[in-house]
Structure 1
């Protein structure tokens, strides 16, 4: 009997021990809660709350509150850690335990860290005891109390300015009038509501329907000021006139402004409001909010990171009356930095005035330093219209313009025509294929390389000279002379020579620019090689690179790297050293002087007294075949002041076939140098 009693005792103890082993410890409960918290599984977190806590907040509200606050605060790198528990705490039979935990996270406003004693309550169940968390809002942020909310606000940085070399503002943040309407005050001074709105629409050049739509927004009341249109800085008189009407008022706001409009549009570009797609997908979206602007085109886009600055953020608690209580995290706003350019806006405007009625591009450099003085493209547009609003007809007209006014041309690549001939000469001189005084014997108007070109031949304009030296060849722009020079140089050396001038090399330049290219698939035959020598092969150059390519002729044979940032232009940077001998550079300059000063030169007319220019014209024929008589022509002129050596201009005008060819461009460039 005693043996049976002992056996029953052992079995009962085993049962009790087994039952106890099913009980969860407080530490186990906290670890489970922490795991769900780190996973941001708010549904499972809610299941671990005490019944009392769940009475205070529904599951739906609990999940939504965590999700909204974490999303709006930009929470990342969340790390919740349960603290160590002593042996005595582990064995405690108390029904309530306080266990330590620590929370750290990254937010848009910086690091948030706090420690907390979590209160866990033992709950007995059929399957053993479990531990629930006695939750309150301080688990979200330590500063958050009952009946308080979390608010996240941002402070928009002041965007940096774009400045020319003399500090003139090309893009800045202007104080401008914003016109608003108070709907309940539109009647008065002898005017009905409709009469007032019609007058507002007329003065602001808006459709009445658009104004009505703004006034019909769901949030609008009779007493609220409804923004209608932001005016430009120079429209203060208009603001005064329209605010003389009943119910119309003006308040000052800040807006991006481009004072030089069309003249610098493709250079500066413009900003636009961020959209939902940007905020969702862009890698840098955390530095923007729904009220932010972002560079869309031009330097506004290229230097977005520098101009933008950094949002300031503040996460704080507010009472039921929306009064601020405690700051949870805060980062100061960092304003954007100015971008200082080498551009001289006076030169920019002078060149634009010459090009504005045509389609083309122009670049001006300081040939000694490489500083970019102007980057011009035409036709153009007013970037302010993207800020203050477009006239629908004007926008549609520009959008359908075949000359693409919204697209910059100064950074695109084009056939350079005869403007490449000085480069061919330089390569020939460097390779010893020609000398300045050597004469080539050329008979007639055509050359087929002793029949090696098949049915093709290179044609020159005049056969008045049969013995042609370098200076004569440049002055008369003799196609055959330069075709011969290219062929005599050979494909390998000619390509090598062009590469020494920066061809097939990405230009390290502040404004994205097309890489100039020699050919599509190599100079695989002498016909293509010959054509490339005088600018009618597959050679493509940007106006920027073409301007830079003439810098060796006044820098002892050194190719100077063009720069756009003022900080990089204090001293000249040699892009490629010694692309031709100094005496060769001097000889080419003499020939280019003759192009302008010799009566035979293609840039002789119009004669402008006092100018000391050297340069080269070029006509790029855009034809389907050699016999095509309906092709178009681009007229080029590259020129520099050989005396002052302070400016070099490359200019290209499209469609000059009925305007006198490249002579049309010559006059425009000379007008800039006057």
Structure 2
């Protein structure tokens, strides 16, 4: 296409020239400039440059020099013009003609503009007068001379940082250490064995690093990198000859507590390099690999700066800067997360496998979102051995599993939602008492072997809604679900967001009513009423599902970035103010009179609902139990905390989770 563009321009010039006796220098320069704008360096050389020029530079050098610089400088556009002579100018066939030429090129460091005079000499060619160009390297770049080097330097950007709502750092550009040895002082064979063990490398690796050609006895030889918070540094410094040099490094101050949420950066993978093709990444770059570091990569990354300059061949001459594009640092991003609350919540879980989420019911802001146990982000950032990765992968507590992104059977924490749907449907009267006898119940013989079982048959009759919440009575809620019927119940759950993806920054597994979104039997309806069956909920959805009980019917879209608009309605009208008040009182009584006494704190009134979901190994066997507790402080109602702990069957069930949550309240309120 470039060739055709040049050919058309040249033909136009030649047609004009054919109307007169001789071609003018202006016409020749116009044709030359047309080829120049198309980067047709071959034609420029063969058809236009003077013999004098050809004696100083051959065609290969002429073409390759300019073409390679175009590529190195990232030239995307060029605009070359010249100042025309007055219309009445008469050209002497024996005198050179001179024109001011204006040059502008767009480069990776911005535009470069300059002006330079170009001389054309008259010659006879095929018995006709024509004109040829005197060329020099100053027409490539301003001030460029033969032998000068053109260089491009890169100024690295600073990656954007992540902070919590209170300005606490979550992912920042801090410092760490380059770990290495000074060979002249590192002579103890036993020390090498100890160092290899501490760093998780082989002694052969250390030997190879020390045998590089540049190594001298007094030079620091780097072996590994270490995070500033890594306790290993104290042990390393006891080894003679080992040094730790301060180095720029990403820091994650809250470590394991925020590991699944914040993630980490690391060397770009081949897959990511392919995904981000044409975005300026190279195989030597780092990139967000997990969590928000990956989700927010585009905003955190920034842009490198570029400087184009001439490195003169002349001795003592200073470099000449031609274009400079400053580096653009990544953005500072503030999260709605309360890092200290996240740390307190994580610590209260004592490394138990589980997850937790905390939301502000008045705004929709997410205050905590965590998975336990976590991992040390710097281990992944700095690179870990296959042995260490396998150790984490094989850990039965699964620290690499992001539990807040998964969904689980919510157990009895669903009961306030079931009650809200029943009251809205008009089939559940919260003051009506139901007489329930025994530990098991079935509607009739058509249920076969299926029965609903309750944990506290000692609950005093009649059972109303408040007692049903206090004693977490499965039979009561199963009967209420049967009263309203499958379709109204499913419709009510859908109004609470079940079966729908939460509008949220991160990808979370959607909560579901069942595998296909329907309830196919009365038995499944009964199970679903108390959070079993095929029902699943992710922990964030579970927390925001309690918002309507505090807001009198509104559920906000959850936000994770401070810049996001708060109080954006996701769902509304699921519960009336009167029914919300009934549920608040029932959940308060559940804490005061029920089986979560650990969180019945004298100076911190709390309301909430426990839940235990049994994951049966088979129809006739008992399986793993996951414990839940969703709660809020009744005096302030400024947050709703949902927590789940796995495998609580031998620890007291959901009461065990209530103990963990009680610790959060005590630490938060200084009790």
Is the CA contact 2:175–2:251 (under 8 Å) kept in the aligned structure 1? no
Give the alignment of 1:62-211 within 5 angstroms: 65-76=65-76, 78-83=77-82, 103-116=103-116, 134-181=134-181, 186-187=183-184, 192=187, 201=196, 206-211=201-206
Is the CA contact 1:20–1:128 (under 8 Å) kept in the aligned structure 2? no
Corresponding residue number in structure 2 for 1:319: 312
Q: Secondary structure at the match of 1:410?
A: helix
1:270 correspondence with 2:269 = no
> Which structure 2 segments of 5+ residues have no match?
1-15, 667-671
Corresponding residue number in structure 1 for 2:586: 591
Corresponding residue number in structure 1 for 2:626: 634
Corresponding residue number in structure 2 for 1:4: none
Query: How many Å apart are 1:146 and its aligned residue?
Result: 2.4
The whole-number CA distance in structure 2 between the counterparts of 1:124 and 1:281 is 58
The whole-number CA distance in structure 2 between the counterparts of 1:217 and 1:45 is 49
Corresponding residue number in structure 1 for 2:332: 338
Q: Secondary structure at the match of 2:408?
A: coil
The whole-number CA distance in structure 2 between the counterparts of 1:307 and 1:418 is 41
1:647 aligned to 639, 642, 646, which one?
639
| TM-score (normalised: structure 2) | 0.82
352 and 44 in structure 1: CA distance in 2 versus 1, 3 angstrom threshold:
farther
Query: How many Å apart are 1:116 and its aligned residue?
Result: 5.0
212 and 617 in structure 1: CA distance in 2 versus 1, 3 angstrom threshold:
same
The whole-number CA distance in structure 1 between the counterparts of 2:364 and 2:416 is 19
| Greater Cα shift, 298-307 or 217-226 | 217-226
1:532 correspondence with 2:524 = no
Q: Secondary structure at the match of 1:426?
A: helix
The whole-number CA distance in structure 2 between the counterparts of 1:455 and 1:244 is 69
Query: How many Å apart are 1:398 and its aligned residue?
Result: 0.7
> Which structure 1 segments of 5+ residues have no match?
1-16
The whole-number CA distance in structure 2 between the counterparts of 1:322 and 1:294 is 41
| Greater Cα shift, 438-447 or 404-413 | 438-447
Is the CA contact 1:37–1:80 (under 8 Å) kept in the aligned structure 2? no
Query: How many Å apart are 1:228 and its aligned residue?
Result: 2.8
Corresponding residue number in structure 2 for 1:557: 553
Give the alignment of 1:230-269 within 5 angstroms: 230-234=225-229, 238=233, 242=237, 245=240, 251-269=245-263
588 and 83 in structure 1: CA distance in 2 versus 1, 3 angstrom threshold:
same
Give the alignment of 1:393-408 within 5 angstroms: 393-401=387-395, 403-408=397-402
1:294 correspondence with 2:290 = no
RMSD of aligned alpha carbons: 4.2
Is the CA contact 1:561–1:572 (under 8 Å) kept in the aligned structure 2? yes
Deviations 1:97-140 (A, max 9, x none): 65666554443322334455555667877799987665433343
Is the CA contact 1:149–1:317 (under 8 Å) kept in the aligned structure 2? yes
Corresponding residue number in structure 1 for 2:5: none
Is the CA contact 2:499–2:517 (under 8 Å) kept in the aligned structure 1? no
195 and 459 in structure 1: CA distance in 2 versus 1, 3 angstrom threshold:
closer
Deviations 1:627-670 (A, max 9, x none): 14264332222122223423321111223344443333222222
The whole-number CA distance in structure 1 between the counterparts of 2:332 and 2:106 is 30
Corresponding residue number in structure 1 for 2:544: 548
2:301 aligned to 274, 291, 308, which one?
308
Corresponding residue number in structure 2 for 1:673: 665
Corresponding residue number in structure 1 for 2:4: none
428 and 99 in structure 1: CA distance in 2 versus 1, 3 angstrom threshold:
farther
Query: How many Å apart are 1:423 and its aligned residue?
Result: 0.9
2:408 aligned to 405, 414, 423, which one?
414
1:347 correspondence with 2:341 = yes
1:477 correspondence with 2:476 = no
238 and 56 in structure 1: CA distance in 2 versus 1, 3 angstrom threshold:
farther
Q: Secondary structure at the match of 1:386?
A: helix
Deviations 1:551-583 (A, max 9, x none): 2222223324433334558x6555433321112
Give the alignment of 1:217-232 within 5 angstroms: 217=212, 225-232=220-227
480 and 125 in structure 1: CA distance in 2 versus 1, 3 angstrom threshold:
farther
292 and 155 in structure 1: CA distance in 2 versus 1, 3 angstrom threshold:
farther
353 and 148 in structure 1: CA distance in 2 versus 1, 3 angstrom threshold:
same
Is the CA contact 1:177–1:239 (under 8 Å) kept in the aligned structure 2? no
The whole-number CA distance in structure 1 between the counterparts of 2:43 and 2:126 is 21
Query: How many Å apart are 1:283 and its aligned residue?
Result: 5.7
Is the CA contact 1:27–1:90 (under 8 Å) kept in the aligned structure 2? no
The whole-number CA distance in structure 2 between the counterparts of 1:341 and 1:404 is 26
Give the alignment of 1:450-469 within 5 angstroms: 450=444, 456-464=450-458, 467-469=462-464
| Greater Cα shift, 158-167 or 258-267 | 158-167
| TM-score (normalised: structure 1) | 0.81
| Greater Cα shift, 545-554 or 485-494 | 485-494
The whole-number CA distance in structure 2 between the counterparts of 1:318 and 1:264 is 48
Corresponding residue number in structure 1 for 2:489: 494
Query: How many Å apart are 1:437 and its aligned residue?
Result: 0.7
